[in-house]
Amino acid sequence: MSHYNLKDLHHFFLLHGYSTDIDKLPLDDSLLAYMKEIAEVDTSCYEGYSLPYVSKLQMTSNAKRFLNEKFRLHPVGFLSNKQLAKVLMDRRIQSVDDIPIIYNQSAKMVDPFLIPIEYDINSIFGGSLTVQTVVTQDKSFFEDLLPKLNIYFTNISMPKTLTSVAATSYVHEITHSQLESNKGIIENYYNSEVLTIFMEFLHSYEKNPNVFQIDIVNRIQNMLANFYSMFIYESGQKNPEREYSEYDYFSDSKYLISILKAFQLFHLYETSSDSIKKYILEGIQKVFDGKITLEQFLESVDVHYSGSLNPEYAKYFVKK
């Protein structure tokens, strides 16, 4: 059930440094044609496949080894809810203008792998990285406050039951920490999941072909589910599976566009020479370092929404 509205989305953009000038994704003929074709892909190849269980140490060490072999990860800000409460009660805060000054000095810079993990997700898929937020009843001052706040993290949520897909999900969340902590290096909200999903593909492709196939199928199904919800909403019908709002439409658009571009980028990576692969990884490092924006990187490798509407990019990796 959605509890958010477009004002909340606007505040989210301000906090993360995204452009607030964003268009609603149209469900045009090109997207419809893509979805019709991708819906015919046989994704039953791993239905009923039993994933082996892994330990927490196996999950974290697998992800850490993979990322550290390829990238130089930077420390990120950690701020617990308890620490936030102390910050907001600091006697030096006499006005709203004092909040970002005190807040931005309050976090502990840590290795991203030291962000606390909470095992509280029921599904075996996915995870989430929780960004610390200054929550008050009065949001009238958020327009000025949120752009001034640094991005800090409180925890990473992971599934209660860990299987061999868990390390891939953990790689996804650690990648988020590298991107979101550099406020403003992602300009467009719709691109905010591109590299995290690309990293999923790269990790599972190199480490576990079975998990890779499951991840590919899962992302295809994600796209179809997102499109279905968006289509039902735009047609004015009531979604029988979930309460749905315009906020959800933008959120589903983000995942839909990001998955499309991640498929295009990974297809480029896997079908290219070693020199191009090196160029792509070096470009991602520059994004992590804040030297270029994600959009500049995507432009450099010619990854665009219009170009991503080619079902062959996803179909190329589905096991026949």
**Token couple for 138:** 């009065």
The answer to whether the CB of 165 falls within 8 A of the CB of 215 is yes
> How far is it, in rounded angstroms, from Cα 230 to Cα 251?
10
**Token couple for 184:** 């403003």
Q: Any idea which residue has 């665009």 for tokens? A: 304
Query: 34 pLDDT exceeds 90?
Result: yes
Find all residues with CB under 8 Å of 227, minimum gap 6, and list them.
27, 31, 35, 252, 256
| Mean pLDDT across the chain | 94
Kindly state the average pLDDT of the residues 90-102: 89
Q: How far is residue 222 from each of residues 43, 90, 196, 228, measured CA to CA in Å?
A: 12, 44, 15, 10
The answer to whether the CB of 192 falls within 8 A of the CB of 186 is yes
pLDDT of 1 reads 45
What residues are paired with 121 via a beta bridge? 159
Q: Where are the domains of the chain?
A: 6-315
List pLDDT tens digits, range 247-259. 999 999 999 999 9
Ranking 25-39, 53-67, 93-107 by mean pLDDT, the lowest is 93-107
Query: 47 pLDDT exceeds 70?
Result: no
pLDDT of 45 reads 65
Ranking 44-58, 107-121, 206-220, 284-298 by mean pLDDT, the lowest is 44-58
**Token couple for 157:** 């949520």
Query: 137 pLDDT exceeds 50?
Result: yes
List pLDDT tens digits, range 161-186. 999 999 999 999 999 999 999 999 99
Q: How much of the chain, in percent, has pLDDT values that exceed 90?
A: 84
Longest dimension (CA), the chain: 64
